[in-house]
Structure 1
Amino acid sequence: MIKHLKKKLLFLLAPRVLYAFLWLVYKTSKHRFHIPQESIQDSFIATFWHGEIPMQGFFYHHILKKLNHRDLKHFRYGVLISEHSDGEIATRLYEMYGFTSIRGSSTRGGAKALIDALNKLKNGWNIGLTPDGPKGPYHSVAKGAVIMALKSQKKIIGLRVEPKKFWQLKSWDKMKLPKPFGVIDYYVLPPLWLDSNLSIEENQAILKTYLEQDLL
Protein backbone atom coordinates (compact mmCIF):
# COMPACT_ATOMS: atom_id res chain seq x y z
CA MET A 1 0.00 0.00 0.00
CA ILE A 2 2.78 2.43 0.99
CA LYS A 3 4.77 1.49 -2.11
CA HIS A 4 1.73 2.17 -4.29
CA LEU A 5 1.19 5.58 -2.67
CA LYS A 6 4.86 6.50 -3.16
CA LYS A 7 4.66 5.60 -6.84
CA LYS A 8 1.44 7.57 -7.25
CA LEU A 9 3.05 10.60 -5.57
CA LEU A 10 6.12 10.24 -7.81
CA PHE A 11 3.95 10.19 -10.94
CA LEU A 12 2.10 13.27 -9.71
CA LEU A 13 5.06 15.42 -8.66
CA ALA A 14 8.02 14.39 -10.84
CA PRO A 15 6.57 15.62 -14.18
CA ARG A 16 5.60 18.98 -12.65
CA VAL A 17 9.01 19.52 -11.05
CA LEU A 18 10.79 18.52 -14.25
CA TYR A 19 8.59 20.77 -16.40
CA ALA A 20 9.17 23.71 -14.03
CA PHE A 21 12.94 23.20 -14.24
CA LEU A 22 12.95 22.88 -18.04
CA TRP A 23 10.76 25.99 -18.32
CA LEU A 24 13.32 27.87 -16.20
CA VAL A 25 16.12 26.63 -18.47
CA TYR A 26 14.20 27.67 -21.57
CA LYS A 27 13.37 31.14 -20.25
CA THR A 28 16.92 31.90 -19.11
CA SER A 29 18.83 30.46 -22.07
CA LYS A 30 19.80 31.84 -25.45
CA HIS A 31 18.32 29.69 -28.23
CA ARG A 32 19.68 29.23 -31.74
CA PHE A 33 17.43 27.35 -34.15
CA HIS A 34 18.62 25.76 -37.39
CA ILE A 35 15.48 24.64 -39.25
CA PRO A 36 15.34 23.97 -43.01
CA GLN A 37 11.82 24.83 -44.11
CA GLU A 38 11.55 21.78 -46.39
CA SER A 39 12.14 19.47 -43.42
CA ILE A 40 9.02 20.53 -41.53
CA GLN A 41 6.56 20.82 -44.42
CA ASP A 42 3.96 18.04 -44.54
CA SER A 43 3.76 15.29 -41.94
CA PHE A 44 6.92 13.61 -40.70
CA ILE A 45 8.44 11.14 -38.26
CA ALA A 46 10.63 13.06 -35.80
CA THR A 47 13.51 11.03 -34.41
CA PHE A 48 15.73 12.14 -31.54
CA TRP A 49 18.18 10.43 -29.23
CA HIS A 50 16.95 9.44 -25.78
CA GLY A 51 19.78 11.44 -24.21
CA GLU A 52 18.53 14.64 -25.86
CA ILE A 53 14.92 14.40 -24.65
CA PRO A 54 14.81 17.29 -22.10
CA MET A 55 14.28 20.28 -24.44
CA GLN A 56 12.34 18.47 -27.17
CA GLY A 57 8.99 19.82 -25.96
CA PHE A 58 9.98 23.45 -26.37
CA PHE A 59 11.79 22.59 -29.60
CA TYR A 60 8.61 21.20 -31.16
CA HIS A 61 6.61 24.23 -30.01
CA HIS A 62 9.10 26.42 -31.88
CA ILE A 63 8.63 24.26 -34.99
CA LEU A 64 4.87 24.83 -34.71
CA LYS A 65 5.43 28.59 -34.53
CA LYS A 66 7.65 28.30 -37.61
CA LEU A 67 4.65 26.70 -39.33
CA ASN A 68 2.43 29.59 -38.12
CA HIS A 69 0.53 27.24 -35.81
CA ARG A 70 -0.61 29.62 -33.08
CA ASP A 71 -2.65 27.23 -30.94
CA LEU A 72 -0.13 25.21 -28.94
CA LYS A 73 -2.84 23.29 -27.07
CA HIS A 74 -4.60 21.69 -30.02
CA PHE A 75 -2.31 20.08 -32.55
CA ARG A 76 -1.58 16.60 -33.82
CA TYR A 77 1.70 15.30 -32.46
CA GLY A 78 1.95 11.78 -31.08
CA VAL A 79 4.99 10.63 -29.11
CA LEU A 80 5.86 6.96 -28.66
CA ILE A 81 6.52 6.22 -24.99
CA SER A 82 7.33 2.96 -23.26
CA GLU A 83 4.58 1.05 -21.46
CA HIS A 84 6.99 0.43 -18.59
CA SER A 85 6.22 2.27 -15.36
CA ASP A 86 9.01 4.81 -15.93
CA GLY A 87 7.22 5.83 -19.13
CA GLU A 88 4.34 7.18 -17.04
CA ILE A 89 6.42 10.18 -15.96
CA ALA A 90 7.30 10.93 -19.60
CA THR A 91 3.65 10.59 -20.58
CA ARG A 92 2.49 13.12 -18.02
CA LEU A 93 5.35 15.48 -18.86
CA TYR A 94 4.58 15.42 -22.59
CA GLU A 95 0.91 16.03 -21.89
CA MET A 96 1.93 19.37 -20.36
CA TYR A 97 3.29 20.33 -23.78
CA GLY A 98 0.04 19.24 -25.44
CA PHE A 99 1.45 16.06 -26.97
CA THR A 100 -0.52 12.83 -27.35
CA SER A 101 1.15 9.77 -25.90
CA ILE A 102 1.27 6.51 -27.85
CA ARG A 103 2.22 3.82 -25.35
CA GLY A 104 4.39 0.98 -26.55
CA SER A 105 8.00 0.10 -27.33
CA SER A 106 10.16 -2.58 -28.91
CA THR A 107 9.85 -4.64 -25.73
CA ARG A 108 6.17 -4.18 -24.81
CA GLY A 109 3.04 -3.16 -26.70
CA GLY A 110 5.02 -2.48 -29.88
CA ALA A 111 2.53 -3.79 -32.44
CA LYS A 112 -0.36 -1.81 -30.97
CA ALA A 113 1.71 1.37 -30.83
CA LEU A 114 2.91 0.92 -34.42
CA ILE A 115 -0.65 0.54 -35.72
CA ASP A 116 -1.78 3.61 -33.78
CA ALA A 117 1.17 5.67 -35.06
CA LEU A 118 0.61 4.58 -38.67
CA ASN A 119 -3.05 5.53 -38.48
CA LYS A 120 -2.15 8.95 -37.12
CA LEU A 121 0.48 9.51 -39.84
CA LYS A 122 -2.14 8.61 -42.45
CA ASN A 123 -4.35 11.34 -41.00
CA GLY A 124 -1.70 14.05 -41.15
CA TRP A 125 -0.19 13.74 -37.67
CA ASN A 126 3.50 14.04 -36.87
CA ILE A 127 5.02 11.27 -34.78
CA GLY A 128 8.02 11.58 -32.46
CA LEU A 129 10.14 8.76 -31.08
CA THR A 130 13.55 7.84 -29.72
CA PRO A 131 15.03 5.06 -31.88
CA ASP A 132 17.35 4.05 -29.01
CA GLY A 133 14.63 4.10 -26.34
CA PRO A 134 13.48 3.08 -23.87
CA LYS A 135 16.60 1.29 -22.63
CA GLY A 136 19.26 1.49 -25.33
CA PRO A 137 21.96 0.59 -26.04
CA TYR A 138 23.31 4.12 -26.50
CA HIS A 139 22.62 5.52 -29.99
CA SER A 140 21.20 2.23 -31.22
CA VAL A 141 18.34 2.16 -33.73
CA ALA A 142 15.45 -0.23 -33.11
CA LYS A 143 13.45 -1.67 -35.99
CA GLY A 144 10.26 0.20 -35.05
CA ALA A 145 11.33 3.57 -36.44
CA VAL A 146 12.43 1.97 -39.72
CA ILE A 147 9.28 -0.12 -40.12
CA MET A 148 7.11 2.91 -39.41
CA ALA A 149 8.90 5.00 -42.04
CA LEU A 150 8.78 2.28 -44.69
CA LYS A 151 5.11 1.39 -44.14
CA SER A 152 3.93 5.00 -43.97
CA GLN A 153 6.25 6.22 -46.75
CA LYS A 154 6.74 9.37 -44.67
CA LYS A 155 9.99 11.26 -44.34
CA ILE A 156 12.12 11.13 -41.22
CA ILE A 157 13.56 14.28 -39.73
CA GLY A 158 16.20 14.26 -37.01
CA LEU A 159 15.84 16.65 -34.08
CA ARG A 160 19.14 17.34 -32.33
CA VAL A 161 19.69 19.52 -29.26
CA GLU A 162 23.17 20.69 -28.26
CA PRO A 163 23.44 22.75 -25.05
CA LYS A 164 26.74 24.52 -24.42
CA LYS A 165 26.49 24.07 -20.65
CA PHE A 166 24.95 20.93 -19.21
CA TRP A 167 25.06 18.22 -16.60
CA GLN A 168 25.65 14.78 -18.13
CA LEU A 169 23.93 11.97 -16.30
CA LYS A 170 25.65 8.65 -15.66
CA SER A 171 22.88 6.76 -17.41
CA TRP A 172 22.95 4.45 -20.43
CA ASP A 173 21.78 7.30 -22.70
CA LYS A 174 24.37 9.80 -21.35
CA MET A 175 21.54 12.31 -21.03
CA LYS A 176 22.47 15.99 -21.25
CA LEU A 177 20.50 18.17 -18.85
CA PRO A 178 21.01 21.81 -19.89
CA LYS A 179 22.03 24.35 -17.27
CA PRO A 180 20.14 27.67 -16.94
CA PHE A 181 21.64 30.83 -18.46
CA GLY A 182 23.42 28.96 -21.24
CA VAL A 183 23.26 28.71 -25.02
CA ILE A 184 21.33 25.90 -26.71
CA ASP A 185 21.48 25.01 -30.41
CA TYR A 186 18.54 23.19 -31.99
CA TYR A 187 18.92 21.41 -35.31
CA VAL A 188 16.30 19.99 -37.64
CA LEU A 189 18.21 17.74 -40.02
CA PRO A 190 17.42 17.59 -43.77
CA PRO A 191 14.65 15.09 -44.52
CA LEU A 192 15.49 11.41 -44.92
CA TRP A 193 13.48 8.87 -46.91
CA LEU A 194 14.36 5.26 -46.28
CA ASP A 195 14.68 2.81 -49.18
CA SER A 196 12.21 -0.09 -49.30
CA ASN A 197 14.61 -1.98 -51.59
CA LEU A 198 17.10 -2.27 -48.74
CA SER A 199 16.85 -4.59 -45.75
CA ILE A 200 15.62 -3.46 -42.35
CA GLU A 201 19.17 -3.76 -41.02
CA GLU A 202 20.60 -1.63 -43.83
CA ASN A 203 18.00 1.06 -43.19
CA GLN A 204 18.78 0.94 -39.46
CA ALA A 205 22.43 1.67 -40.27
CA ILE A 206 21.40 4.53 -42.57
CA LEU A 207 19.21 6.08 -39.87
CA LYS A 208 21.97 5.77 -37.26
CA THR A 209 24.50 7.50 -39.55
CA TYR A 210 21.94 10.19 -40.37
CA LEU A 211 21.25 11.00 -36.71
CA GLU A 212 24.95 11.02 -35.81
CA GLN A 213 26.00 13.36 -38.64
CA ASP A 214 28.22 16.34 -37.91
CA LEU A 215 26.04 19.31 -36.94
CA LEU A 216 28.57 22.00 -37.84
Structure 2
Amino acid sequence: MAKLFSKETKRKLLVWILPRLAYALMNLLFFTCKKKFHHQQHLFGTPTLYAMWHGELLMAALAYQHYSQRIHINTVDTIISNHFDGEMIAKLMDLHGAKTIRGSSSKGGVSVLRHALKSLQNGRDIGITPDGPRGPRHSVADGVVALARMKKVPIIAMNCRPTSYWKMKSWDQFCIPKPFCTLEFYYSDPFYVHELSLEEAKTLIQKRLLEHAV
Protein backbone atom coordinates (compact mmCIF):
# COMPACT_ATOMS: atom_id res chain seq x y z
CA MET A 1 0.00 0.00 0.00
CA ALA A 2 2.85 2.34 0.86
CA LYS A 3 4.45 1.75 -2.53
CA LEU A 4 1.16 2.47 -4.31
CA PHE A 5 1.02 5.98 -2.83
CA SER A 6 4.74 6.70 -2.82
CA LYS A 7 5.94 10.09 -4.03
CA GLU A 8 7.22 8.58 -7.26
CA THR A 9 3.89 6.86 -7.94
CA LYS A 10 1.96 10.07 -7.32
CA ARG A 11 4.24 11.99 -9.66
CA LYS A 12 3.75 9.40 -12.40
CA LEU A 13 -0.03 9.60 -12.00
CA LEU A 14 0.06 13.39 -12.16
CA VAL A 15 2.23 13.34 -15.29
CA TRP A 16 -0.23 10.93 -16.90
CA ILE A 17 -3.43 12.74 -15.83
CA LEU A 18 -2.72 16.50 -15.76
CA PRO A 19 -1.41 16.94 -19.35
CA ARG A 20 -4.52 15.19 -20.67
CA LEU A 21 -6.75 17.45 -18.61
CA ALA A 22 -4.81 20.50 -19.81
CA TYR A 23 -5.11 19.30 -23.41
CA ALA A 24 -8.89 18.96 -23.04
CA LEU A 25 -9.07 22.37 -21.34
CA MET A 26 -7.04 24.04 -24.09
CA ASN A 27 -9.23 22.69 -26.85
CA LEU A 28 -12.44 23.48 -24.95
CA LEU A 29 -11.32 27.06 -24.34
CA PHE A 30 -10.20 27.45 -27.93
CA PHE A 31 -13.62 26.22 -29.10
CA THR A 32 -15.70 28.38 -26.74
CA CYS A 33 -13.64 31.57 -27.04
CA LYS A 34 -13.58 34.09 -29.84
CA LYS A 35 -10.20 34.35 -31.55
CA LYS A 36 -8.38 37.29 -33.04
CA PHE A 37 -5.02 36.85 -34.74
CA HIS A 38 -2.73 39.82 -35.23
CA HIS A 39 0.23 39.60 -37.60
CA GLN A 40 1.47 41.53 -40.60
CA GLN A 41 4.30 39.53 -42.10
CA HIS A 42 3.94 35.77 -42.42
CA LEU A 43 7.11 33.71 -42.47
CA PHE A 44 7.26 30.30 -44.17
CA GLY A 45 10.04 27.88 -45.01
CA THR A 46 12.69 29.40 -42.74
CA PRO A 47 13.76 27.76 -39.45
CA THR A 48 12.54 30.17 -36.78
CA LEU A 49 12.67 30.71 -33.02
CA TYR A 50 9.19 31.19 -31.56
CA ALA A 51 9.45 32.94 -28.18
CA MET A 52 6.67 33.18 -25.61
CA TRP A 53 6.55 34.08 -21.92
CA HIS A 54 6.30 31.12 -19.55
CA GLY A 55 3.08 32.48 -18.03
CA GLU A 56 1.31 32.41 -21.42
CA LEU A 57 2.28 28.84 -22.31
CA LEU A 58 -1.20 27.31 -22.08
CA MET A 59 -2.12 28.40 -25.60
CA ALA A 60 1.38 28.24 -27.11
CA ALA A 61 0.78 25.10 -29.19
CA LEU A 62 -2.44 26.46 -30.69
CA ALA A 63 -0.80 29.84 -31.33
CA TYR A 64 2.02 28.16 -33.26
CA GLN A 65 -0.38 25.82 -35.04
CA HIS A 66 -2.42 28.72 -36.37
CA TYR A 67 0.58 30.78 -37.46
CA SER A 68 2.26 27.85 -39.21
CA GLN A 69 -1.13 26.66 -40.55
CA ARG A 70 -0.37 23.04 -39.75
CA ILE A 71 -2.92 20.58 -38.38
CA HIS A 72 -0.23 18.71 -36.46
CA ILE A 73 2.72 20.71 -35.12
CA ASN A 74 5.29 18.10 -36.06
CA THR A 75 7.88 20.55 -37.36
CA VAL A 76 8.70 22.28 -34.07
CA ASP A 77 10.94 21.26 -31.18
CA THR A 78 10.10 22.88 -27.86
CA ILE A 79 12.76 23.42 -25.19
CA ILE A 80 11.34 22.12 -21.91
CA SER A 81 13.09 21.96 -18.53
CA ASN A 82 13.90 18.73 -16.71
CA HIS A 83 11.87 19.87 -13.69
CA PHE A 84 8.67 18.10 -12.70
CA ASP A 85 6.44 20.79 -14.25
CA GLY A 86 8.56 20.50 -17.39
CA GLU A 87 7.71 16.80 -17.58
CA MET A 88 4.00 17.65 -17.65
CA ILE A 89 4.50 20.35 -20.29
CA ALA A 90 6.52 17.88 -22.39
CA LYS A 91 3.66 15.37 -22.24
CA LEU A 92 1.23 18.12 -23.23
CA MET A 93 3.37 19.06 -26.24
CA ASP A 94 3.53 15.38 -27.16
CA LEU A 95 -0.28 15.26 -27.28
CA HIS A 96 -0.13 18.09 -29.81
CA GLY A 97 2.42 16.20 -31.90
CA ALA A 98 5.40 18.42 -31.08
CA LYS A 99 8.82 17.07 -30.16
CA THR A 100 10.73 18.28 -27.12
CA ILE A 101 14.31 19.04 -26.15
CA ARG A 102 14.72 18.52 -22.42
CA GLY A 103 16.92 20.79 -20.33
CA SER A 104 17.51 24.46 -19.51
CA SER A 105 20.26 27.05 -19.31
CA SER A 106 21.01 25.97 -15.73
CA LYS A 107 20.78 22.20 -16.23
CA GLY A 108 21.92 20.47 -19.39
CA GLY A 109 22.48 23.78 -21.16
CA VAL A 110 25.26 22.57 -23.48
CA SER A 111 23.25 19.52 -24.54
CA VAL A 112 20.14 21.62 -25.12
CA LEU A 113 22.07 24.10 -27.24
CA ARG A 114 23.61 21.31 -29.31
CA HIS A 115 20.28 19.61 -29.98
CA ALA A 116 18.52 22.89 -30.74
CA LEU A 117 21.22 23.91 -33.23
CA LYS A 118 20.86 20.52 -34.92
CA SER A 119 17.09 21.00 -35.14
CA LEU A 120 17.52 24.41 -36.77
CA GLN A 121 20.11 22.93 -39.13
CA ASN A 122 17.52 20.32 -40.13
CA GLY A 123 14.95 23.01 -40.91
CA ARG A 124 12.86 22.64 -37.76
CA ASP A 125 11.45 25.51 -35.72
CA ILE A 126 12.26 25.94 -32.03
CA GLY A 127 9.77 26.98 -29.36
CA ILE A 128 11.34 28.62 -26.32
CA THR A 129 10.33 30.52 -23.17
CA PRO A 130 13.07 33.12 -22.54
CA ASP A 131 12.09 33.47 -18.86
CA GLY A 132 11.71 29.74 -18.15
CA PRO A 133 11.88 27.50 -16.33
CA ARG A 134 12.25 29.47 -13.08
CA GLY A 135 12.30 33.15 -14.00
CA PRO A 136 12.52 35.90 -13.03
CA ARG A 137 9.24 36.63 -14.77
CA HIS A 138 9.61 38.43 -18.10
CA SER A 139 13.40 38.15 -18.06
CA VAL A 140 15.40 36.94 -21.07
CA ALA A 141 18.05 34.27 -20.60
CA ASP A 142 21.07 33.93 -22.87
CA GLY A 143 19.90 30.74 -24.61
CA VAL A 144 17.49 32.27 -27.10
CA VAL A 145 20.10 34.86 -28.09
CA ALA A 146 22.82 32.22 -28.52
CA LEU A 147 20.63 30.16 -30.87
CA ALA A 148 19.52 33.17 -32.91
CA ARG A 149 23.07 34.49 -33.27
CA MET A 150 24.81 31.21 -34.02
CA LYS A 151 22.39 30.17 -36.76
CA LYS A 152 21.36 33.70 -37.82
CA VAL A 153 17.69 32.70 -37.72
CA PRO A 154 14.72 35.02 -37.17
CA ILE A 155 12.74 35.30 -33.96
CA ILE A 156 8.97 35.69 -33.74
CA ALA A 157 7.57 36.89 -30.40
CA MET A 158 4.16 35.38 -29.61
CA ASN A 159 1.62 36.51 -27.03
CA CYS A 160 -1.79 35.21 -26.03
CA ARG A 161 -3.76 37.98 -24.32
CA PRO A 162 -7.26 36.91 -23.18
CA THR A 163 -9.81 39.62 -22.49
CA SER A 164 -10.70 37.78 -19.26
CA TYR A 165 -8.49 35.38 -17.32
CA TRP A 166 -7.29 33.96 -14.02
CA LYS A 167 -3.70 34.38 -12.83
CA MET A 168 -2.08 31.74 -10.69
CA LYS A 169 0.06 32.70 -7.68
CA SER A 170 3.20 31.25 -9.25
CA TRP A 171 6.46 32.98 -10.14
CA ASP A 172 5.31 33.35 -13.77
CA GLN A 173 1.73 34.38 -12.86
CA PHE A 174 0.49 31.62 -15.13
CA CYS A 175 -2.50 32.81 -17.15
CA ILE A 176 -5.65 30.73 -17.68
CA PRO A 177 -8.24 32.26 -20.04
CA LYS A 178 -11.85 32.27 -18.90
CA PRO A 179 -14.44 30.51 -21.08
CA PHE A 180 -16.20 32.64 -23.71
CA CYS A 181 -13.66 35.45 -23.58
CA THR A 182 -11.74 36.66 -26.62
CA LEU A 183 -8.26 35.27 -27.19
CA GLU A 184 -6.03 37.90 -28.75
CA PHE A 185 -3.04 36.24 -30.42
CA TYR A 186 -0.16 38.53 -31.34
CA TYR A 187 2.81 37.66 -33.56
CA SER A 188 5.67 40.07 -34.05
CA ASP A 189 7.26 40.57 -37.43
CA PRO A 190 10.33 38.31 -37.77
CA PHE A 191 13.44 40.03 -36.41
CA TYR A 192 17.14 39.18 -36.18
CA VAL A 193 19.66 39.72 -33.39
CA HIS A 194 22.91 38.25 -34.76
CA GLU A 195 24.39 41.70 -35.38
CA LEU A 196 23.57 42.91 -31.86
CA SER A 197 25.49 42.52 -28.63
CA LEU A 198 24.15 40.07 -26.05
CA GLU A 199 22.52 42.78 -23.94
CA GLU A 200 21.12 44.62 -26.96
CA ALA A 201 19.60 41.37 -28.23
CA LYS A 202 18.06 40.50 -24.86
CA THR A 203 16.60 43.99 -24.54
CA LEU A 204 15.04 43.80 -28.01
CA ILE A 205 13.51 40.35 -27.37
CA GLN A 206 12.11 41.52 -24.05
CA LYS A 207 10.67 44.65 -25.65
CA ARG A 208 8.90 42.67 -28.40
CA LEU A 209 7.47 40.18 -25.91
CA LEU A 210 6.27 42.88 -23.51
CA GLU A 211 4.31 44.80 -26.16
CA HIS A 212 1.25 42.56 -25.71
CA ALA A 213 2.08 40.65 -22.53
CA VAL A 214 -0.61 39.74 -20.01
Q: Which runs of 5+ in 1 are unaligned?
A: none
User: How far off is 1:214 after superposition?
Assistant: 5.3
- For residues 68-96 of structure 1, the C-alpha deviation after alignment (integer angstroms, 9 at most, x for no partner) is x4x516x3100000012221000000101
User: How far off is 1:8 after superposition?
Assistant: 0.8
Partner of 1:147: 146
Amino acid at match of 2:58: P
User: How far off is 1:35 after superposition?
Assistant: 2.5
Partner of 1:181: 180
Partner of 1:22: 26
Out of 28, 41, 46, the position equivalent to 2:50 is: 46
Flag the 1:117–1:167 CA change in 2: closer, same or farther, 3 A. same
Partner of 1:63: 67
- For residues 52-109 of structure 1, the C-alpha deviation after alignment (integer angstroms, 9 at most, x for no partner) is 10111111121232xxx4x516x31000000122210000001011110100101111
Amino acid at match of 1:164: T
Q: How far apart, in 2, do the equivalents of 1:182 and 1:208 lie?
A: 26
**CA contact under 8 A between 1:78 and 1:126: conserved in structure 2?**
yes
Amino acid at match of 1:121: L
Partner of 2:211: 213
Amino acid at match of 2:188: L
Amino acid at match of 2:16: L
Partner of 1:204: 202
Number of residue equivalences? 209
Let me know the Cα RMSD of the aligned residues: 1.5
Does 2:49 correspond to 1:36? no
**CA contact under 8 A between 2:157 and 2:205: conserved in structure 1?**
no
Amino acid at match of 2:117: L
Amino acid at match of 2:203: A
